[in-house]
Structure 1
Amino acid sequence: MNRRHNSSSSKNNFVRIFEVGPRDGLQNEKVQVPTPIKVEFINRLSRTGLKLIEVTSFVSPKWVPQMGDHVEVLAAIDRIPGIRYSALTPNVQGINKVLSLGNKGADEIAIFSAASESFSKKNINCSIETSLQRFNEVTQIANQKNLPVRGYVSCVVGCPYEGKIKPSQVIPVVQKLLDMGCYEISLGDTIGVGTPKSIKELLQAIQSSGISASKLAIHCHDTYGQAIANIAQALDMGIRCYEISLGDTIGVGTPKSIKELLQAIQSSGISASKLAIHCHDTYGQAIANIAQALDMGIRCVDSSVAGLGGCPYAKGASGNVATEDVLYLLEGLGYETGVDLNRLIDAGQFITDVLNRENTSKVARAILCKRQDDTKTTPKNSTTK
């Protein structure tokens, strides 16, 4: 297994994309996706140039039946050197199972908490403090085995039950996860309500707390169509990985709320190098929010190919920001990712065809239409007199 990971990059214009489609994108699908399809999906993603792929979850099949084949998936995928295959592992039983698999296990694990007490109780049936106590046991085992741990924080700017979330609610959770040994925290706009302003304020607050942007990733949902703008804001603020993960779980964040959150976190002494961002696009703000996070130093962004997944507790939520849209944004802003857009589009179309559902990536739809038009308009051989 790949072991300790240094999340920093010598190039400040290099952004890591953390692909969560195989886990976050598929986990709530009601019809069971066959294991061979999941394996082919992951293998296709592995051939795009992505270096970070979350492939499954060790949550009990009783609660998430779609992930019940986690052992079989990890055993069957084609592992490409240089790619880290991650698994969500929220309890001691899960990490012990991962470790028992040896080289067929995960290269790193992820744990998740929330900035909202109400969401934590609804999602995992316990308080934030209780969840952190449980995760501390997991991280202790992982640290002893030299297994990297990534942290997620959901609802960093908005909650479906409590409404607006203040940066002061986010910072303590981020700091505790870092203190446990998480190499990076993904900030999740879980219901997709963030805007570039809220993303910027969040990151400013986090960085003011002393937490570096290099420790953060961003995960935006596109509920309100703001995911891309929010990612751009995060890039502008130093975030270099898209998805510990600060999650706007229901996608209500705005660039303003993301900015306030990051300002608060960074003011508390948490570096942007320790953060990632995870935005949902419920209100179409995910791209704007990611742009805001980039502007504030975030260099890791979580996303899901074809916009798969989302938060089941947010009515009308449209799901995760599409990886294709994030990649198009990053390339347009001049950032390096190492990911092939066309291969990524092919992987997204493969899984949406299997699921018989719409590909919600605007970039993928545009390029697929262009491919069809190019095929129709290819000039035939002609003879001039």
Structure 2
Amino acid sequence: MTEMPDVILNECFARDGLQHEPTVLPAADKAAMLERIADCGFRRIEITSFSHPKYVPQFADAVELLDAVPPRPGVLFKATCPNPAAVQRALATRNARPPEEISFLVSASEGHTQRNLRRSRAEQWRNVEEMAALAGNAFTTVGTISVAFDCPFDGPTPPARVVEDAQRYLALGVKRIAVGDTIGSATPPRVRELMRLLQAELPPDVVVIAHFHDSRGTGLANCVAALEAGITYFDTALGGTGGHPAEIAYGEGFTGNVCTEDLATLFEAMGLRTGLDITRLRDAGRAAETLLGRRLHARTTRLGEHA
């Protein structure tokens, strides 16, 4: 893993992909899946969340899972931390197997903050300030901005607010900013505009990450638009799994992430190096289907099959 790929895909199946699955999967099954994912050549992998087990039982095994998946040279395993208590749980793993990366979350709209986090934006930013202070230099930190294009409750999000949130993260020492199209409503022109604006307003050492959902079938097109605007980091999930927690009803139907297998295949066909073994990646996609017991949304795992 000495040569840097042209694009970096962060595989989110084990966290974002599983967060609204009704069945809690055994930690051993998740660990085996994560090892398979790591064998594909990913440099960033979302491994779990330190959400409170009472509210998100899927991730009650966070510490057990981290212990079951050994570190790999050149790979950042990321854990989501929704609040200061979650950061404290992440810090408590440092004598065992800590994650290399943790992420914080703000919503760019008041309505989504109230519905998804049950607090105001001002309150959530105070939480994030506390989380960043707690984390210090113990982890690589990522700041996620949800509903960066549109909010299902408040309507279109002003691009200036996304820039403001990114700059607030930067002021806290967070230099990786994930821009979330949470309801999959973005279009390529809007993506290019926002990504170019962010890069113009942020220092060159800030990494902007495209986190798109495929609710309207535009996820791949939006990733290409982000690429055209200079973005090289992307969040994806095997089989297009994931999306908002099941109890937050947006009325949007399918909410999954951009499909890893399909985006990696597209980028490779465009002559870009993903650093991924595409054959192993497609095998991992089929393994994810077996694990969840249903056919997922990847197109390219079916290449060569007869109808």
Q: How many Å separate the matches in 2 of 1:86 and 1:210?
A: 23
> Which residue of 1 is the match for residue 216 of structure 2?
283
Alpha-carbon shift at residue 209 of structure 1 (Å): 2.4
Q: Map of 1:158-197 to 2, 5 A cutoff? A: 158-197=150-189
Alpha-carbon shift at residue 80 of structure 1 (Å): 2.3
Q: How many Å separate the matches in 1 of 2:180 and 2:32?
A: 27
Q: Which of 91, 109, 122 in structure 2 is aligned with 1:116?
A: 109
1:116–1:10: structure 2 CA closer, same or farther, 3 Å change rule? farther
Question: In 2, are the aligned partners of 1:171 and 1:206 still within 8 Å (CA)?
Answer: yes
Amino acid paired to 1:320: N
1:331 matched to 2:264? no
Q: How many Å separate the matches in 2 of 1:100 and 1:325?
A: 37
Alpha-carbon shift at residue 302 of structure 1 (Å): 0.4
Alpha-carbon shift at residue 125 of structure 1 (Å): 0.8
Looking at CA atoms only, which structure, 1 or 2, has the larger radius of gyration?
A: 1
Question: In 1, are the aligned partners of 2:261 and 2:281 still within 8 Å (CA)?
Answer: yes
Q: Which of 250, 253, 270 in structure 2 is aligned with 1:314?
A: 250
Q: How many Å separate the matches in 2 of 1:345 and 1:10?
A: 22
Alpha-carbon shift at residue 84 of structure 1 (Å): 1.3
Amino acid paired to 1:114: S
> Which residue of 1 is the match for residue 123 of structure 2?
130
Q: How many Å separate the matches in 1 of 2:242 and 2:194?
A: 24
Alpha-carbon shift at residue 93 of structure 1 (Å): 1.9
Q: How many Å separate the matches in 1 of 2:259 and 2:214?
A: 9
**Could you tell me the TM-score, scaled by structure 1's length?**
0.74
Tell me, what secondary structure is at the counterpart of 1:336? coil
Alpha-carbon shift at residue 317 of structure 1 (Å): 2.4
By relative contact order (CA 8 Å, sep 6+), the higher-ranking structure is 2
**Could you tell me the TM-score, scaled by structure 2's length?**
0.93
5+ residue gaps in structure 2?
none
> Which residue of 2 is the match for residue 346 of structure 1?
283
Q: How many Å separate the matches in 1 of 2:160 and 2:175?
A: 21
Q: Map of 1:1-385 to 2, 5 A cutoff? A: 14-102=6-94, 103-143=96-136, 145-212=137-204, 215=206, 274-311=207-244, 312=246, 313-315=249-251, 316-366=253-303, 369=305
Question: In 1, are the aligned partners of 2:196 and 2:230 still within 8 Å (CA)?
Answer: no
Alpha-carbon shift at residue 211 of structure 1 (Å): 4.7
Identity, in percent, stands at 33
Tell me, what secondary structure is at the counterpart of 1:37? helix
**For each residue in 1:20-44, what CA deviation from the matched residue of structure 2 results, as whole angstroms up to 9, or x when unmatched?**
1100000110111111111111010
**For each residue in 1:284-315, what CA deviation from the matched residue of structure 2 results, as whole angstroms up to 9, or x when unmatched?**
11111111111111110000011111124332
Q: How many Å separate the matches in 1 of 2:271 and 2:120?
A: 42
Alpha-carbon shift at residue 108 of structure 1 (Å): 1.4
Amino acid paired to 1:287: L
Q: How many Å separate the matches in 1 of 2:231 and 2:174?
A: 16
Amino acid paired to 2:37: L
Q: How many Å separate the matches in 1 of 2:228 and 2:290?
A: 35
Amino acid paired to 2:111: S
Question: In 2, are the aligned partners of 1:307 and 1:359 still within 8 Å (CA)?
Answer: yes
Q: How many Å separate the matches in 2 of 1:72 and 1:59?
A: 14
State the aligned residue count: 301
Question: In 2, are the aligned partners of 1:136 and 1:180 still within 8 Å (CA)?
Answer: yes
Alpha-carbon shift at residue 201 of structure 1 (Å): 1.5
Q: How many Å separate the matches in 1 of 2:153 and 2:115?
A: 9
